[in-house]
Structure formats: structure tokens, C-alpha cells
Structure 1
Amino acid sequence: MNIKVHRICVLVFLTTSIVSIFNIVFAQSLEARIDSLVLTEFNERDGPGGVFMVAQHGKAVYQKAFGKANLELDVDLTPDHVFQLGSMTKQFTAVAILMLEEQGKLKVSDPVLKYIPDYPSGDKITIHQLLTHTSGIKDFTKMKSLSSISQQEMTPKMMVDFFKNEPVDFAPGAKFEYNNSGYILLGYIIELVSGDTYESFIRNYIFEKIGMTQSYYATDRRVINRRAYGYHKKEYGYVNKTVINFSVPFSSGSLMSTAGDMLKWQNALTKNQLLGVESTKKTFSKYRLNSGEEFTYGYGWHIRETNGTPVREHGGSIFGFKTMGVYIPDEDIYVIGLSNCDCHSPTQLTRDIAALAQRMLKRRR
């Protein structure tokens, strides 16, 4: 080997070594700073905790669990544990509706009356308004009589009948107000149009299609590997979550998943594996009320800006669990936070982690 070639080889080796050392140091720095943020809230080793993941360009750059998955059995949480998603379920319901629209089986501009002929004022409420929380129908979670059905097995029609005759809160399209009933109606429409159950449709056309092997329609009876158990916190300590029948939250909040599977979900959306470009654009667009005022919700996601940067996000809350997902399209950064105690909200923490990751990952470039 001549001297010139030798020098080139040495230079390549040194450059590669420096880059490797830099990446290791950077990863350690990112991990330490995220750990520091998480431990401000999730700092009880023997209590319920959470799982947090940061990914960029489809790959996890941080993934860690804190606390216990099961207090009775003293089982530590791992990044692979399965959590109830709560209202993050709405993302899947919205995408399922758009998949059916692409198949020509419905249009988001269709009135509810087209699919549920006996729905009050169903000629004035559209699927679009259900998706965007602008329908004005009564949110069943605010009804005092909810406790009377919370542990009953309810069909989608029974759920719709439970709230359909309640007085509306406002005229369709007049206002944005977060609404779970709208997403119950969407799940019912999915079943009517597809001829399949909501559970089966989500499993067959989303979970199985993109390899979400640890994601489920929630159940307290089925044995689910690596299930994280949910808890409440009382003055005297932790107690097991309140038991409900998952047919009640249905398509507004009854799915379960892991951080890893939720990354597969985000990657599938980014790569248009489930929806075409135009449908994806619909999902992540802002819309306007009848007055022309713009509001910051698309189809199943809040569409916001943080310090001038576009952000898509959505959280969830259901007995014993709280969740949050944040996606920064410009940097292709996805952050997910999952908690198995409704005493610990990952909402602001996940946003803070996303902002930190954005700053640090930008700097690395």
C-alpha cells in the first residue's frame, strides 16, 4: 500500500470513528435530557408509570419505560407493554371512514340521514361534521345517565339510541366542541357501510395490513400478552381502574396498542400505505365553521403550530390510562407517551419532549 492510499484509509477511519463517537455522545445526551423531563412526573419506581418513545424518519431514537405495569404482581413496565389508547382511537376511526370513501362506499359530505334514516335532524348533520366535532349533537360522556349503561354490553345502535334524542348543543357547523358521540356515530356508519364489525374492520384493514401485531379492540376478558394494568390514585394509595364495558366508548375510545405499534401507525400514514395523497391531505387540513372562522382540528387530529412549526397531535383519557401522540411533519419526528394511571398525564410532557427532540435533532444535522 503506497503512502497516499494509506493516508486516505487513515483519514476515512478517523472520520468514521469521530462520527460514531459523536453519535454515541449525542444519543447519550438526548437520552439523559429526556429522562430528566420524564422523571419530573413519572418518578415513582414502585407505582404505575409510563412508556415514552421518540422517533425520527420512522426509527426510534429513544424508547424507555418507567414504573410498574402491574402493582399486585410487582411487574416492571417495558416499552412493549399494551396500553388502552382512549381517544387516540379516533385517529383510526377517521382513517377508516376515509378508506371507505376511497372505496366509493360513502362521502364525507353525506348527511347522517343517508345511513341512519331515523336520526333526528340527520339531514342537516354531515359525516364531515362528525369527524371535526362540529355537529352540535350531545356528547354522551356528559350525560348524567351514562352510569346506568357503563357496564352493559351495548350494540352500536343501542349507543346511538342512548344519545340521539338529546337536545343539540348548537346548530351543525356553528361551533367546534370536542364530541365523543360523533365518533360513536362514525363507528356505526363504518359497520353499516362495510357490512363488518368496527373491531373486525380495524383489525383486518389497518392492524394486520401494517403489522400492528400488539394492537386490539379493548377487552378485560381476553388474555393479552404484556397488558399494562390501569390505576387510579386515591388519598390512601393506588386502586385498580374503574371497570367499564368497552362497547360504550366503542369507536371513540376502545383501542389498545403499544408505543412500537403506534410508530408503525404513524409510518403508515406518512408513507400513504392506508390512504392516498388526497385523503391524507383531508385528514390533516384545518377547516372552517359556518361563520368562516377557522378551527384547528382535522379528521381525528388537532392541527396546531408550536413556535411557528406545524404539529399534529391527539391525546386520550380512559379509566386508568392517559395517552398522547405528537408528530412534527417538517422534521418527521414522532413522540408517543403512554401512562397506566390517570393520575399521570403525559400530554404536556410529550409536547415538551417533542420540542426538545426537535431542537436537538436539528442541531445534529
Structure 2
Amino acid sequence: MSALRGTRFTRRGWVLLAALLFSSASAAPRSEGLVTPSRSRTAATPALLPPGTEPLPTGKVQALEARIREHLKGRLLAGLSVGVAQGDFAWTTGYGLRDIAQRRPATPRTTYRTASISKSFTAMAVLQLVEEGKVSLDDDIRRWVPEFPAKPWIVTVRQLLGHLGGVSHYRDPARENHITKRMGTSEALALFKDWPLVLEPGTEFVYTSYGFNLLGALIENASGMPYGKYLQEKVFAPAGMVNTALDDFRTRDIHHAVGYRRVNGTLLRSSKLDVSSRFAGGGARSSVVDLLAFGRAVMASTLVRPETTRLMQVSMETRDGRMTDYGMGWATYPVRGHYVVAHAGGQPETSTFLLLIPAERLAIALSANVEDQAELLKDLASTIAEQLLEGGSRRRPVSAEDPVDEVLHEGLYRLFTYGRAFHTFHRAGFAAPPEPGDLPTSFAEVSALLSRESLTGDPRAVLKKLKQAHEPRAHRLFIRVGVQMAEQLAATLGPEALAAYPAEGALRFFEDYLRACAQQPCPEALQFTPELRAHIARLAGPWKTANSETVRTMVLRAGPELPAALASLQSAFSGAPVHPDFSEEALELAQAPGAPPERTALLLDWAGKTHPGSIPVLLARAEGFLRLGDAEAAELLYRQALARPLGPELLSPEKLLSRAHRHPLAADLLRLSVKLYPDSAALWKALAARELALGNVKPANAALTHAQELAAPLPAESTALP
């Protein structure tokens, strides 16, 4: 078979390709009992809820349980505890087992290592000391921790709180994740204090648990109390966290979860780690009930003053004006127009996630006793937010056949998400609005950036600018323009109108803004250019059908209704330049264990027709050709994917290397990858190892020679000018 020739397939061709494409897919390991909540209480027993809350209404609980079961089905997971607080209502439950050997269920009372959520506790303690006037944010950390040796630059408390201090993270996780010795503060500091800084403080975000150990030592020296005692008295007790403490094997009770790791499709006990070595960066344990209590205390500013809460939850900046999406002890970023404050945690025995949406009074706490579950927990948090804040809509990316429309929509989306998020955050009192500046000039800049001339000239260059347009070095362009749009919408249509846009999307946000400007006339300069308005109308009209409520809440499922569902979506997407992206769902269903070739063929054919620019679809089709032995056709499809605006990001040498490592066609993918990136020594080296493992000595030697030539330094004379 030669290279594609237009890639039009007959139905029979798709069936053959489907059979070959997924013939080696292995069944996903299933975990017993995961879709059923653990019931550790009778109906007469009070629910385990954070202080001051009432049970979430039954209808909401049933909807949440259905969505969570959907995510957990077929997962290899031991135990999971879930906590949700919305306003003054809360719900907690457990799934699976906290101890497999003893068959003990996971419950809301189960305690797990919090891992890096501990950083949020540490940051809260430091800010309390700042409020008391004992510590200044701009103090040199050596004032409080003199045993930390002098470095070429001063490292401040503020920088450490935002991971801008240049302090190294773990250097040797294989060793540092197996420390079993119980350590005091000085011993924990001795692990890293003599290391050089990895870079000049303030210049780059460098995530570091050891930097937070320095803050733990500060807390002890500034307060005169042991770190754990300070947290108990000043943070945990006032927040109502009754089952939270520093983790210690010697004091664990029967409610603590046994930790597991996934190895070759099964669960094994986690390696032992004494987390006193990372005490202030990841050394606590807690339950989801207590994490909700902490989240509610944070949102209510009961542990520090409101102005301090605002300080913690606003992104810090590098010296050259880049936002880090991290405040003080919290990650901070917009998601679909919601201002999110969150922290994830992961270490031996545990995966955790605490997400707050302060302006909408939502807190979500998730803890699992299996390592490396960050993506699952973030997906679950997203699902819960969808259900409670977005009417059950499914969060999907947007698909566009035309790369220019793809980049245009990305710009509109980013204006919407920053605008709505920051507006609601400010309106709820969590931060001051940005200075509006010269709004006519700002709207003109946006119009120029999103003009057809700009987009068609170099879509990738424009995409890069779009991703930086909210930053201080870009004068917070997208934040200022987006907030102005949200304020106009709230003033004209009412503040409640803003609630619809996370589900209905950026195009509805823009369409309503222009309509609001017609009702309460905005200056012409604040309505974008006629050209951009025309393009917004071109995308927004068909979007109403393509993103209808029926589409937003639809789920693709195997069964007799699948063909009708696909036909319905194809009809909804017809004529729409952009529409919700169902491609990954279709591919996942196509790859499901035991999927008949006819169903796989139907899904592949449908995905190719409705999502022709989808990188996952292009890659799936390419790998089908690799199975057929047509490397030329596969390479052409990979090049098409690489040519998409997001191609260089999603198909970088590092991403391709990672993809090859876990793929049954690893050698074929690496052979293809070195054609895409012939100057990547890492890809050539990986190919050499793979060829050698297959017994292909001559190709292995050739690949290794390429890798060595690329890695070798240039001769000195080659750098000299003629």
C-alpha cells in the first residue's frame, strides 16, 4: 500500500484496518468493587461531614455517584475517598478498599498521606506568622534558618512560598523515596542544604519540596513551637480538622489506608518511606472530611485575614513578567472560566487532590491509596465540577478542520476563560480587579492579533502569543479585555448570566457580549473590528447546534444505540467550523477490550470524517498503517499531525519518546520519529536500544552512531568565524 492517496477508505477497508489496529490491545485490569460506594455507617448514623455543613441534596448525590462510577469502571485502584462541599452542603463517601488484605473499605474517615497538599498547610502557617508581624515575606530565609548556608543570591520567604527560590527538588527520587529513618528538622535539612541553587531566585518556577522544608524550619524558629504542634494548634484545630496530623508509622490507627503501587497490571504494597524527611513539603496525613474543612476555612478566611487569603491565591510572577500559575502554597489558574485554587499530592502510598473554586464556594477533596493517580483525580474533580456548576455538561476540547479557525477559537477561549474567571474572583472579593488601562488600545490589539491576516501568516507564532497574552509582560492583555467583557455582560444581562458560559462556551460569551453592546451601547472601540465580529458570527451561529445541551451531555457508549448517536453528532457538526471534540472518546471506545472490528471500523470512519484535524485520530490511523506494514503512509499522517498548530507541542521528541516506550509498536514508532526529528540524539539512542533488543544488530549500531555523533561536542575550530 502506498502513501494514503487521499486516505479514502471503503467500509471493508476500515474493518480490516480496525482488526489490525487494535488486535493486540490488552484488556484493562479491573478492580473489584470500585463502582460501589463503601457503606461504613447505617442510615441512623450521622453523615461524616465537615463542621457547619448539611448533607448535599439526594438528587445531586445520585448524579455525582453515577458520574464517578463511570470514571472508575475498569480501573485498577484499591481505595478512593471523595469529599465535596458546595456552599453549606457537603457529601462524602468511599470506594473500594483501604486495606486489600484485610478487606477494609475506604470511607470518608479513612486517612491518607496528603503528600504535597501539606505545602498548603505550611504556607498557611507562614502567613499567620507574617500577619502577627513575626516574619516578613521579604526576609532572607537565613535570618530564620541560619544553618542554611549562604548562596550566591539571597533566598526570600516570599520566593520559597511560590517555588521561585531556586532550591532544588528531589535529585534522586529512587533513593529519596526509600528513606526509612525518622528524621528531625536538622536531619531533614541536611539532606539538601549544601546543594547549590539550581538557578537565580526569581527567574524561574522550580517546584521544590525541600524549599518548603526550609519554611517548616522557619515556623519552628519564629514560633518557638515544633512544626507539628504549631499546625495542630494554629491550623488543624481552628479549621475543625480532627483526624489530621503529621504522618508517623508509630501512631497510625486502623483507619489509615495501606498504600499500593501498580506493577505489571497488579497492585503491590508501596515501598516504605518515612515522610519526616519532607515534613513541611509533604509530611501530613488527613481524611477527605478534614481536607474539606480546611478548604472551607481557606475560602472563608477563618485562619488568616481576607487580604492574606487573596495574597496566597494570586499567581506569582517571574522577574521578567511571566505568571507561574502558583501563588503561596496553592496552584492558581482558570479552567473554563472558573478561578481554581488547588494542590495535588503524590508520593509512596498515596495520590491526593484538593480543589477550591472560591468564587462559587465549591471544594473537592480526593484521596487514593494507589500511587501515580494524578490524572484520574484531576479528571474526577473536573467531572464533579461539571456536574455541580455546569449542568452536567462534559468538558471537551474544540475540534476545527481549518488550523486558522483552531487558533482563532483558542484566542477567543482564552479571553473568555481569563475574563470570566478573574471577574467572578474579583466580584466575590478574593482579589482586586486589574487596572483597566487603555481599553480602546487593548481591544484594538486583540483584534489585530486575531485578524485573518495575522492568523494565516503564521498560526503557530500567533498561538504562542495567545498563550502569553495574559501575562504581566503582555500587560495582562487578555485578562483586562476579558474582565471588561464580563463586566459588560453582568451589567447588561445580570450577574447570573455569567453562570451559563462555562458550559455554553467562549463563542456564546462573545456573541452575548456583542449583543449586550447593542442593548447598552459600548464605544465602537470596545466592540472589536468588523472583521473579527464577522468571524465570531461565522463560528457562533453553527456552534449553537454543534454544542447544544443534548450534545454537551451526550456520552458515546457501546450498544445498539451507538450508530444513531454518531449519526446525530455528525448531523449536529455539519457545517460547523468548530465543534466539540469527541475524537478521544471515540478512539477509547474503539480500543475497548473485545471491541468487534465492525464497531471499531464504524468509530474510526466516523472520527476521520468528523474530526479530520484531530491529532489523536491522525495518530490512530497512522498506527493502523504501521500494523499493515505501510510505514510511508504512517509517516505522512504523522507529518500531517505535526503540521497542526498544536503538533510541535503534542509531538515533541520528548512526547514521541514517551509514547514509544509504552507502545507495542515501539520500534516502528521510533523509526518514524527519527525521520521527523533527525537531530534528536535521545530518539536515535532509544531506537538503537530497541533494535538491539530485537536482534537487529546492524540497524542498532547505525542508530547508536547517529546518537553519538549528535551528542558529541563540535570541534573547537567549527565555531570559529571564517
Distance apart, 1:38 and its partner CA: 2.3
What is aligned with 1:71? 100
* Cα pair 2:84 2:292 within 8 Å, conserved: no
* Cα pair 1:46 1:71 within 8 Å, conserved: no
Distance apart, 1:223 and its partner CA: 3.7
Q: Which amino acid aligns with 1:338?
A: S
What is aligned with 1:241? 270
Q: Does 2:301 correspond to 1:272?
A: yes
28, 49, 56: which one aligns with 2:79: 49
Q: Does 2:299 correspond to 1:263?
A: no
SS at structure 2 position matched to 1:69? strand
| Distance across 1 between alignment mates of 2:358 and 2:173 | 40
| Distance across 1 between alignment mates of 2:145 and 2:176 | 26
Q: Which amino acid aligns with 1:279?
A: T
183, 195, 199: which one aligns with 1:170: 199
What TM-score results when the alignment is normalised by the length of structure 2? 0.44
274, 277, 299: which one aligns with 2:328: 299
Distance 1:203 1:178, change over 3 A: same
Contiguous gaps of at least 5 residues in structure 2 = 1-55, 393-498, 501-722
Q: Which amino acid aligns with 1:42?
A: L
SS at structure 1 position matched to 2:110? coil
233, 245, 250: which one aligns with 2:279: 250
Q: Which amino acid aligns with 1:349?
A: L
Q: Which moved more, 1:338-347 or 1:103-112?
A: 338-347
Distance 1:223 1:53, change over 3 A: closer
Q: Does 2:67 correspond to 1:37?
A: yes
What is aligned with 1:206? 235
* Cα pair 2:177 2:348 within 8 Å, conserved: no
Q: Which moved more, 1:242-251 or 1:336-345?
A: 336-345
| Distance across 2 between alignment mates of 1:293 and 1:180 | 22
377, 382, 388: which one aligns with 1:351: 382
Distance apart, 1:113 and its partner CA: 2.0
* Cα pair 2:271 2:348 within 8 Å, conserved: yes
Give the length in aligned residue pairs. 336
Deviation per residue, 1:115-167 (Å, 9 max, x gap): 2234232861100110000111111x223684497112222222222212223
| Distance across 1 between alignment mates of 2:308 and 2:173 | 37
SS at structure 2 position matched to 1:209? helix
State the identity %: 24
What is aligned with 1:190? 219
Distance apart, 1:320 and its partner CA: 1.5
SS at structure 2 position matched to 1:264? helix
* Cα pair 2:81 2:94 within 8 Å, conserved: yes
| Distance across 1 between alignment mates of 2:254 and 2:121 | 22
Distance apart, 1:358 and its partner CA: 1.2
* Cα pair 1:112 1:123 within 8 Å, conserved: no
What TM-score results when the alignment is normalised by the length of structure 1? 0.85
Q: Which amino acid aligns with 1:80?
A: R
| Distance across 2 between alignment mates of 1:148 and 1:228 | 18
| Distance across 2 between alignment mates of 1:296 and 1:174 | 14
| Distance across 1 between alignment mates of 2:97 and 2:266 | 14
| Distance across 2 between alignment mates of 1:81 and 1:144 | 27
129, 146, 168: which one aligns with 1:138: 168
Q: Does 2:393 correspond to 1:332?
A: no
Distance 1:148 1:306, change over 3 A: closer
| Distance across 2 between alignment mates of 1:65 and 1:283 | 31
| Distance across 1 between alignment mates of 2:173 and 2:79 | 31
| Distance across 1 between alignment mates of 2:288 and 2:370 | 16
Q: Which amino acid aligns with 1:324?
A: F
Q: Which amino acid aligns with 1:354?
A: A
Deviation per residue, 1:257-296 (Å, 9 max, x gap): 1111111111212222110122111111122111122221
More strand, by proportion = 1
| Distance across 2 between alignment mates of 1:132 and 1:148 | 23
What is aligned with 2:492? none
Q: Which amino acid aligns with 1:150?
A: I
SS at structure 1 position matched to 2:364? strand
SS at structure 1 position matched to 2:390? helix
Distance 1:177 1:355, change over 3 A: farther
| Distance across 2 between alignment mates of 1:117 and 1:219 | 27
| Distance across 1 between alignment mates of 2:152 and 2:279 | 21
What is aligned with 2:349? 320
Distance apart, 1:171 and its partner CA: 0.4
| Distance across 2 between alignment mates of 1:342 and 1:46 | 11
Q: Which amino acid aligns with 1:136?
A: G
Distance apart, 1:32 and its partner CA: 4.0
146, 157, 160: which one aligns with 1:117: 146
* Cα pair 2:261 2:370 within 8 Å, conserved: yes
Q: Which moved more, 1:253-262 or 1:89-98?
A: 253-262
Q: Pick the structure with greater CA Rg.
A: 2
* Cα pair 1:287 1:294 within 8 Å, conserved: yes
What is aligned with 1:13? none
Q: Does 2:86 correspond to 1:59?
A: no
Distance apart, 1:54 and its partner CA: 1.8
More helix, by proportion = 2
| Distance across 1 between alignment mates of 2:58 and 2:166 | 49
| Distance across 1 between alignment mates of 2:245 and 2:144 | 27
Distance 1:75 1:293, change over 3 A: same
Pairwise CA RMSD: 2.3
Deviation per residue, 1:223-260 (Å, 9 max, x gap): 42521221112226322221111211211111111111
Q: Does 2:383 correspond to 1:360?
A: no
What is aligned with 1:15? none
SS at structure 2 position matched to 1:176? coil
**Larger RCO: 1 or 2 (CA < 8 Å, sep 6+):** 1
What is aligned with 2:474? none
What is aligned with 2:318? 289
SS at structure 2 position matched to 1:106? coil
